[in-house]
Amino acid sequence: MQAIQTIYDDNHQIYGAPKIAKEMQKKGDKISQRTVGVYMREMGIKACYIKPYVKTTFDSDFSTKLHNILKRDFSPSKPNEAWCTDITYIFTLEGFVYLTSVMDLYSRKIIAWT
């Protein structure tokens, strides 16, 4: 148990039973992953997953390219006169999924999404 605690502490308390068992086996100890897991539960320690940082948004300077043609008038007088759009990302088990939608400001209905 002391060897398990030492390996756990030396690796910033993030190693779980599989990695600790491999470290101990490299040193010549005969111990299984299951036994290490049982001892870790008895000791009240467990692996800590560190989620990797993923940059999803990149800042760009659009001030010279984009013009405000709506002038905050969000009530057009006829359909298809003004649309608005938004994009967001959703984290799934396979990674990030981007969702974008287009809304007609006259009817306030989503007319397209992908």
Instruction: Kindly give the pairing relationship between strand 83-92 and strand 95-104.
Output: antiparallel
pTM of this structure: 0.47
38 and 56 in a single domain? The answer is no
66 and 23 in a single domain? The answer is no
57 and 29 in a single domain? The answer is no
Task: Per-residue pLDDT tens, the chain, 114 aa: give them.
Answer: 999 999 999 999 999 999 999 999 999 999 999 999 999 999 999 998 888 888 877 777 777 777 888 888 888 899 999 999 999 999 999 888 999 999 999 999 999 999
Amino acid at 93: L
At 86, give phi and psi (nearest 5°). Answer: -150, 155
Q: Please, what is the angle between helix 2-10 and helix 17-26, to 10°?
A: 110
The boundaries of the domain holding residue 96 are 52-114
56 and 108 in a single domain? The answer is yes
Query: What's the total number of domains in the chain?
Result: 2
**Rounded Cα–Cα distance for residues 15 and 12 (Å):** 8
**Rounded Cα–Cα distance for residues 3 and 50 (Å):** 23
Would the CA dihedral through 27, 32, 37, 43 be positive or negative?
negative
